[in-house]
Structure 1
């Protein structure tokens, strides 16, 4: 996947989730089945998972100093997802959503749009080589290249969109 394809997939998948969430009634937005997260909580979680990126991506030098470069073969998108499913898939505490009311939908939507645009602009500043060599930590998978991280982040929105749809059946 080229850099532009990756950025597009990341952005489009988050927009698709946002559009779907915003098509829901207030009742659907807060509905929970079998103690599963509500659509609002799924939406909030996807946003919370993106919060670290605008802080870390602006400084390539910091990334190299703090985390270094990849020392293993680069994973394909499929390999990243396969390895993710081998983990506990339990989100760390800072990414767990609180209860979300329907009144918060517009705020989360605006915040998600803003952060995905910021991340899009930051990723544009990376070369393909940097995407494939610089690493940042993932709480479950350890060090991932930036490209691998965004394979996962593009998938992450789709995964939670599908969970939301399943919960509303």
Structure 2
């Protein structure tokens, strides 16, 4: 992410717009043979992008659930920072956590189709996020499959970082500098 770490809802909206544009353009610009070169064990860029599509969709669905149906957060319990969520995710990866179940990629679309689905998915997330007030992001919990019950704000921090993390993983595969 080339912008400062997000704090507010408006920061998150700007950061997700940047992710949609920059990550989408990066994956769209890869040569087709490179984009598709991989296996279920050694993911191709197509696998990474499909995984992001699969991972972003439940967050969007959660943002669209009526607030009163989400688990309430204990009053006074704040949300961790973007850096704090990132550190917890890195700790889970260090313990050997990997994608599983519905988050395992099975790319079936061509490159243009996957990139379009990725961008459309982030547009849907942005639309759902736009219905939330900044303060409400700390009043409800969402269940993350690895991090457990975390605030909506923390889920958004995770989701944003997760997108950049996978782009960086692909960049490293090709000897390019990772930016996060």
Q: Structure 1: 5+ residue runs without aligned partners?
A: none
Equivalent in the alignment of 1:46: 52
TM-score, normalised on structure 1? 0.88
Residue 12, structure 1, aligned to residue 18, structure 2 = yes
Q: Among residues 29, 34, 38, which one is paired with 1:28 in the alignment?
A: 34
Q: SS at the partner of 2:110?
A: helix
Q: SS at the partner of 1:57?
A: helix
Residue 106, structure 1, aligned to residue 112, structure 2 = yes
Superposed CA RMSD in Å reads 1.8
CA distance in 2, matches of 1:19, 1:168: 16
Equivalent in the alignment of 2:158: 152
Q: Which has the higher helix share?
A: 1
Per-residue deviation at 1:70? 4.2
TM-score, normalised on structure 2? 0.83
Runs of 4+ in structure 1 off by over 2 angstroms are 53-56, 70-73
Q: Structure 2: 5+ residue runs without aligned partners?
A: 1-6, 176-180
CA distance in 1, matches of 2:163, 2:74: 25
Question: What are the residue-to-residue correspondences of 1:78-93 with 2, within 5 Å?
Answer: 78-87=83-92, 88-93=96-101
After superposition, the Cα gap between the structure-2 partners of 1:155 and 1:51, relative to the gap in structure 1 and judged at 3 Å, is same
- More relative contact order, 1 or 2 (CA 8 Å, 6+ apart): 1
CA distance in 2, matches of 1:159, 1:55: 22
CA distance in 2, matches of 1:3, 1:94: 28
